[in-house]
Structure 1
Amino acid sequence: MASGSLAFVARRSEPELVAPSKPTPRERKPLSDIDDQESLRFYRSVIYFFRRGPAGADSSSSKDPVGVLKRALADVLVFYYPIAGRIREEAGRKLVVDCTGEGVVFVGADADVRLDDFGSTLTPPIPCTGELLCLPESSSATVVDRPLLYIQVTRLACGGFVFGLQICHCLADAPGVGQFMTAVGELVRGAAAPSVRPVWARELLAARSPLRPAYEHPEYEAVADPGKDRIFPGDVMLHRPFFFCPAAIAALRKAAPPQLRNRCSRFELVAAFVWRCRTAALVYDPSDEVRFLCVVNARGKLRPPLPEGFYGNALTFGTAVTTAGELCERPYGHALELVRKAKERVMTDDYLQSAADVLVAKGRPRFTTARTYLVTDLTKARLHDIDLGWGTAVYGAPATTTLATFHMPTTNAEGEEGITVPICLPVQAMERFITEMEWLEKTTFSGGVSERSLGLGISSRL
């Protein structure tokens, strides 16, 4: 069965609240001013696929994942007890967590489908996502006075299962979710406590008093004429993942200017290439301002550093601003330099603190999205490297992608380890995007040779 034609209905139990298995503190804990920005007020999905465990009397294959994971969730919430609470909004739209211990939503389900029916390589959008998650996917949501975590565990006909998680993004970023899921797995496998204890410490990323932003923050400044965007509500959107194998990344590096070849990360190489293709595909006017926005994890970059175990949002946005004409008409190396500088400018010790000050001063705005390519590097977030007692996940990453996208570690059907970039565009723009990819492969990388002989090896799969 092709994954594109996959259809099934999950038989769900009634949702129930899972509370911490032991008494937890009743208190109010303010979120940081990075946590409670408007753009993070939604539920971020992460979905995990696990195969049936090995046979044996005491093996995971004989255990019910719904019961096992519900009990482990109750135990892990003793340590992550704010997640079992509810968000309240105070003066100035400031968000705090009321640690009520009410619990998180849990649903058990069954589906008459096998893991292999989802396809040989899983990428967003996961087929039939609506049957595997509790909530409809959305980039905005009400997060006040409602549960902060929704989980559905769906048993598959093959003995494997799907763990679908949707967490209020104000509570945790991708590394924070990975830390939480690692803790669940450790408790499933018999640990008495997580190996890394969760730390709140949101006060470290609170705005200063008085506010004193030290940098410009174009990520929170609206573009001129946002109505000139080429993506509108109601557009029919097409999703396609693009796989960059090691040879493709090596070819991108070879195409970079000599002074950048050994200074650029693979994220920068791929992001610059995709940004140019996407911008050209959307057919902006040459004078239209376009932006690149990448999520940068500030862990390890702050002084003093955030403590080990911090699971809140420690993210900021590297931003590049140019015109569509400049980006598409100048060489690939120009786009690459813009992307590099966008990341570099947020690496200073106090940039994230400055962002907190700006967010409060501006009333907690959303980051700009019009004519903007937004991308997150998930290759180091370790979302995929999770073992809940049934072995390492076959897949662990977001279930869907919208205008924002990700760089995801992927092993293709040939066993090559590379990066998948899921792209979502209006149908005609997607057709142009594929054409742009093919054209750039032939013209940016010298020699007039074929894709395969060049070794670029960018492939797309529906």
Structure 2
Amino acid sequence: MGSTVHVIEATIVTPSEPTPTRVLALSALDSQLFLRFTIEYLLVYNAHPGLDRRATTARVKAALAKALIPYYPLAGRVRAKPDGSGTGLEVVCRAQGVLFIEARSDHNVNEFEKAPRFVTQWRKLLSFHVADVLKGAPPLVVQLTWLKDGNAALGVGINHCLCDGIGSAEFLNSFAELASTSQTKFAEFKFKPKPVWDRHLLNPSPFKPTRNNTNNNSLSHPEFNRVPDLCGFLARFSNERLVPTSFIFDKTSLNELKKVAFSTSRPGESNYTSFEVLSAHIWRSWARALSLPSNQMLKLLFSIDVRNRVKPSLPSGYYGNAFVLGCAQTSVKDLTEKGLGYVTMLVKRAKERVDSEFVKSVVELLSHSRACPDSVGVLILSQWSRLGLEKVDLGLGKPVHVGPICCDRYCLLSPVFNQTDAVKVMVAVPTAAAQRYEHLVRSFYL
């Protein structure tokens, strides 16, 4: 059974000063079908002995209200554009507010050092779960939970249509810095970077036709193409209980993975990054553990930040969705038999495809269709370890744990407390594959 969480207070927090009343259009990247969900972060803190909980809660609420002044769209409500197309979204900004929850729990801080026992064990640390982000729910929910041992957890749910990982982390760091700022400096607080809306910068209208901009555009974008389900892939993930897993890769193990990748690569391959070798190793271990048919096609999808890949670059402080999906694709046979170097090369090539022209073609495609990644044969991986979440300090110190509220079939790379070069990998796999997956993840040379 899950641990008990009791809600002490649930209240709507509005911007502490008047904000513009307007309707703001979201970009084609913001409006994608597969982003219509809530990003759910969990940050856990070792609180100082003798901490005044009432004063801390008041500081957090005041900081949230002030942060909502420049980030006022987060206090609005997201809806479909009334043109009936179904492809575009907008946010109605009338300072409707965000939901703040204070709670207490019988969790303790040591529980978060390992994977949860089941997918939803930490669900109540963000008690208000938004099932449909277009049904009028607040785009932002913040829950401060006091743990049994006197420590604290911060659960944050943020509508993915409004922010990507980088944008949401910038907001959280500004909000947290406000919460830890003295009263004398609170009024003069400067947001760094200053939040920038400017979603029009990713509109298709200024774009000229590109090399990929054809009637068969989707053929240039394997991330949106479907592959046949030869093994009841979707049914397995729907019907079999998923087991959460958590592994830490430190600098030594990441360097070891790089050596293995080079030793199994073609001559002349250039340097691999830690992300490339780690994501390849995780994808390969996951595929081998599932024991899929050798001719089943598999994909690894991962987000690629395009802020500095588009021309001109997006301005600092742009907090909307500014990423496209990288897609590595191959058969089970090649993925499992050709070695880590081959798989790492697939990831590297997927990253290299993404330039300004590629981004334009994605925007064009999404502006005129309901293109959406399929789930068959897909492992989705998201890199939270480079967002700056490990710096979110509410005045309680840096978080000792950063991860998702629910550990599910999407793979997350998270930062590790006090280990700058280390990465925590969290993903839930079907029960029958869990033991083999854990063995393969630990075995670099198999």
- TM-score (normalised: structure 1): 0.85
Assess, with a 3 A threshold, how the Cα gap between structure 1 residues 130 and 105 changes in structure 2: closer, same or farther: same
**Counterparts of 2:407 and 2:414, CA distance in 1:** 12
* Displacement after TM superposition at 1:65 (Å): 2.5
Paired position in structure 2 for 1:455: none
**Contact 1:401 1:422 survives alignment (8 Å):** yes
* Paired residues, number: 426
**Contact 1:186 1:194 survives alignment (8 Å):** no
**Contact 1:124 1:399 survives alignment (8 Å):** no
**Contact 1:125 1:399 survives alignment (8 Å):** no
* Displacement after TM superposition at 1:263 (Å): 1.3
* Displacement after TM superposition at 1:380 (Å): 1.2
Assess, with a 3 A threshold, how the Cα gap between structure 1 residues 286 and 46 changes in structure 2: closer, same or farther: same
**Pairing partner for 2:367 from 336, 343, 360:** 360
Percentage identity across paired residues of the two chains: 27
Structure 2: unaligned runs, 5 residues or longer: 213-219
**Counterparts of 1:210 and 1:417, CA distance in 2:** 39
**Contact 2:38 2:133 survives alignment (8 Å):** no
Moved more, 92-101 or 231-240: 231-240
**Pairing partner for 2:251 from 236, 246, 252:** 246
Matched, 1:429 2:433: yes
**Contact 2:400 2:417 survives alignment (8 Å):** no
Moved more, 310-319 or 418-427: 418-427
After superposition, give the CA deviation of every residue in 1:86-143 in whole Å (9 maximum; x if it has no partner).
1121221210011011101111112244423x25457797884122102348xx6343
Matched, 1:131 2:135: no
Question: SS at 1:407's partner residue?
Answer: strand
Question: SS at 2:158's partner residue?
Answer: strand
* Displacement after TM superposition at 1:409 (Å): 2.2
Matched, 1:292 2:300: yes
**Contact 2:402 2:416 survives alignment (8 Å):** no
Paired position in structure 1 for 2:196: 199
* Displacement after TM superposition at 1:243 (Å): 2.0
**Contact 2:13 2:65 survives alignment (8 Å):** yes
Matched, 1:186 2:177: yes
* Displacement after TM superposition at 1:369 (Å): 2.0
Paired position in structure 1 for 2:31: 36
After superposition, give the CA deviation of every residue in 1:405-446 in whole Å (9 maximum; x if it has no partner).
12222259xx795222112111112123234446x5344xxx
* Displacement after TM superposition at 1:208 (Å): 3.2
Question: SS at 2:444's partner residue?
Answer: helix
Paired position in structure 1 for 2:356: 349
Assess, with a 3 A threshold, how the Cα gap between structure 1 residues 227 and 30 changes in structure 2: closer, same or farther: farther
In structure 1, give the amino acid aligned to 2:397: G
- TM-score (normalised: structure 2): 0.88
**Counterparts of 1:123 and 1:299, CA distance in 2:** 34
**Pairing partner for 1:17 from 6, 12, 33:** 12
Paired position in structure 1 for 2:288: 280
In structure 1, give the amino acid aligned to 2:426: P
* Displacement after TM superposition at 1:82 (Å): 0.5
**Counterparts of 2:115 and 2:292, CA distance in 1:** 32
* Displacement after TM superposition at 1:214 (Å): 3.8
In structure 2, give the amino acid aligned to 1:441: F
**Counterparts of 2:34 and 2:409, CA distance in 1:** 13
Paired position in structure 1 for 2:260: 255
**Contact 2:284 2:335 survives alignment (8 Å):** yes
Question: SS at 1:368's partner residue?
Answer: coil
* Displacement after TM superposition at 1:78 (Å): 0.9
Assess, with a 3 A threshold, how the Cα gap between structure 1 residues 263 and 142 changes in structure 2: closer, same or farther: same
Paired position in structure 1 for 2:313: 305
**Contact 2:119 2:244 survives alignment (8 Å):** no
* Displacement after TM superposition at 1:176 (Å): 0.8
**Counterparts of 2:429 and 2:107, CA distance in 1:** 29
After superposition, give the CA deviation of every residue in 1:148-168 in whole Å (9 maximum; x if it has no partner).
111111123443321111011
Question: SS at 1:241's partner residue?
Answer: strand
Paired position in structure 2 for 1:459: none
Assess, with a 3 A threshold, how the Cα gap between structure 1 residues 36 and 260 changes in structure 2: closer, same or farther: farther
Matched, 1:152 2:143: yes
Paired position in structure 2 for 1:115: 109
**Counterparts of 1:159 and 1:72, CA distance in 2:** 22
**Pairing partner for 1:232 from 237, 253, 264:** 237
**Counterparts of 1:46 and 1:124, CA distance in 2:** 18
Paired position in structure 1 for 2:168: 177
Assess, with a 3 A threshold, how the Cα gap between structure 1 residues 161 and 26 changes in structure 2: closer, same or farther: same
Matched, 1:418 2:418: no
Question: SS at 2:172's partner residue?
Answer: helix
* Displacement after TM superposition at 1:213 (Å): 5.9
Assess, with a 3 A threshold, how the Cα gap between structure 1 residues 233 and 72 changes in structure 2: closer, same or farther: same
Provide the aligned C-alpha RMSD in A: 2.6
* Displacement after TM superposition at 1:40 (Å): 0.6
In structure 1, give the amino acid aligned to 2:12: L
Paired position in structure 1 for 2:217: none
Question: SS at 2:285's partner residue?
Answer: helix
Matched, 1:164 2:172: no
**Counterparts of 1:150 and 1:390, CA distance in 2:** 20
**Pairing partner for 2:327 from 319, 322, 347:** 319
**Contact 1:386 1:396 survives alignment (8 Å):** no
* Displacement after TM superposition at 1:351 (Å): 2.0
Moved more, 308-317 or 325-334: 325-334
Moved more, 40-49 or 151-160: 151-160
Assess, with a 3 A threshold, how the Cα gap between structure 1 residues 308 and 248 changes in structure 2: closer, same or farther: same
